[in-house]
Amino acid sequence: GQQLNQSPQSMFIQEGEDVSMNCTSSSIFNTWLWYKQDPGEGPVLLIALYKAGELTSNGRLTAQFGITRKDSFLNISASIPSDVGIYFCAGQLIGTASKLTFGTGTRLQVTL
Amino acid sequence: GAGVSQSPSNKVTEKGKDVELRCDPISGHTALYWYRQSLGQGLEFLIYFQGNSAPDKSGLPSDRFSAERTGGSVSTLTIQRTQQEDSAVYLCASSDQRGNYGYTFGSGTRLTVV
């Protein structure tokens, strides 16, 4: 199936640092979404992007839909301990209105 | 309900047994999705329901897997003759399907086949 390459796979950062992660694909996506998953829970939507070039913020989170429609990034500013978790990108491929393709996730750990 | 509810939250079963996993979507959400998440992996699409119909079941890994939805609400994912490779977290999500891809996920059922 289609793959979303998400990087980095994991990162350790100190509280207060900024974080950046991204997803790339060889395919064109209509929609990009970023989710966060805490242990034992389902993913929770953070940001949704619907247009190429779109830059959207949600508090300390900022995400962009790449111009080529093949990539997206997520930035977290001034990280705090509760940012710990696994972040997934997800995209909706052209012609596949029924489902999302998910990246393999970025595990974020924040140290004090 | 207020959120997507899945039951059981954990299930341990012997290889070869059948299991049923249940999903109660958010009231009024017409679209329902099942995904599978293996340890340390991303989410793998299984099946999509619009109402009681399943227009896309392309992700079901084998004919041992089936799902149904009744009354446009509750869905059941059934795995027959379970194998060890079926061990994973099975996540259900629903959406209002008005061009909104922001699914709401349940907490999942962790299935362990021993």
The β-bridge relationship of strands B10-13 and B109-113 is: parallel
**Residue B52 carries which side chain, given as an amino acid letter?**
N
* pLDDT for the residue A2: 59
Q: Which chain B residues have a beta carbon less than 8 Å from that of A86?
A: none
Interface-testing mutation among B103, B104, B109, with chain A (most A C-beta atoms within 10 A): B103
Cβ partners under 8 Å of residue B89, min gap 6: B36, B37, B38, B108, B109, B110, B111
Considering only residues 5 to 64 of chain B, which have any Cβ-Cβ distance to chain A shorter than 8 Å?
Answer: 31, 33, 35, 41-45, 48, 50, 55-56, 59
The yes-or-no verdict on residue B99 having pLDDT over 60 is: no
A4 falls in which pLDDT band (50, 70, 90)?
Answer: confident
Query: Which residue in chain A is spatially nearest to B50 when comparing CA positions?
Result: A98
Q: Give the integer Cα–Cα distance in Å for B48 and B100.
A: 15
Range of weakest confidence among B17-26, B50-59, B60-69, B105-114: B50-59
Q: Compute the average pLDDT of residues A67-76.
A: 95
The yes-or-no verdict on residue B98 having pLDDT over 70 is: no
* pLDDT for the residue A111: 84
pLDDT over 90 for what percent of chain A? 75
Whether the Cβ atoms of residue B21 and residue B90 lie closer than 8 Å to each other: yes
Q: Compute the average pLDDT of residues A82-86.
A: 95
Whether the Cβ atoms of residue B95 and residue A100 lie closer than 8 Å to each other: no
pLDDT tens digits for A18-61? 999 999 999 999 899 999 999 889 999 999 999 999 999 999 99
Q: Which chain A residues have a beta carbon less than 8 Å from that of B101?
A: 31, 33, 48, 92, 100
Whether the Cβ atoms of residue B111 and residue A60 lie closer than 8 Å to each other: no
Interface-testing mutation among B9, B30, B43, with chain A (most A C-beta atoms within 10 A): B43
pLDDT tens digits for B28-73? 899 999 999 998 778 999 999 999 999 899 999 999 999 999 998 9
Asked whether the bond before A43 is cis by omega within 30 degrees of 0, the reply is no
Check if B74 contacts A (Cβ < 8 Å): no
CB atoms under 10 Å from CB of A34, counted, come to 24
CB contact under 8 A, B103 and A45: yes
Instruction: Measure in Å the smallest separation between the Cα of B47 and chain A Cα atoms.
Output: 8
Mean pLDDT of chain A: 91
